[in-house]
Amino acid sequence: MQISVNINIVGLDQKTESTVEAPFVFTVSYTPSIAQLSVKGKAQVSGDRSEVVQMAEEHKKNRPPPQTVIQAVSNIGMAEVIIMSKSLGIPPPLPPIGLPTEAAVTQAIPKKEPRYTT
């Protein structure tokens, strides 16, 4: 099963001198196609007037939002999707914890040379 996560911040609207609003869509898709979960919302970003104005100007130049905004949206979106996946009975969009991959196990165990004794 393959799980893909997509975060799309669709805009950045300046509400006040020190606040912007960032509408977003957080989507998780499963392959084979057993589910697609979407969380839509609006992130409110508050800060210094100069920071907020700079963020709005950067958005007008089609530059991505600051990493802190993306991380905050990712954290809340992931939390919501984990709760939704549990209630639907589908795997959460997290890698299995504590299970090493087959390649890691193969690399960790050195292969022994065959020995022949007479």
Q: Say how many Å lie between the first and final Cα of the chain, rounded.
A: 50
CB within 8 Å of 103: residues ≥ 6 apart? none
- pLDDT tens readout for residues 14-33: 888 889 999 999 999 999 98
CATH number of 2-108: 3.10.420
- In this structure, what token pair is assigned to residue 25? 């869509």
- pLDDT tens readout for residues 56-97: 888 889 898 889 889 999 999 999 999 999 999 999 988 777
Domain extents for the chain? Answer: 2-108
Residue 118 pLDDT exceeds 60: no
Q: Structure pTM?
A: 0.72
Given this model, what pLDDT does residue 12 score?
Answer: 87
- In this structure, what token pair is assigned to residue 29? 């898709």
Q: How far is CA 28 from the centre of its chain?
A: 9
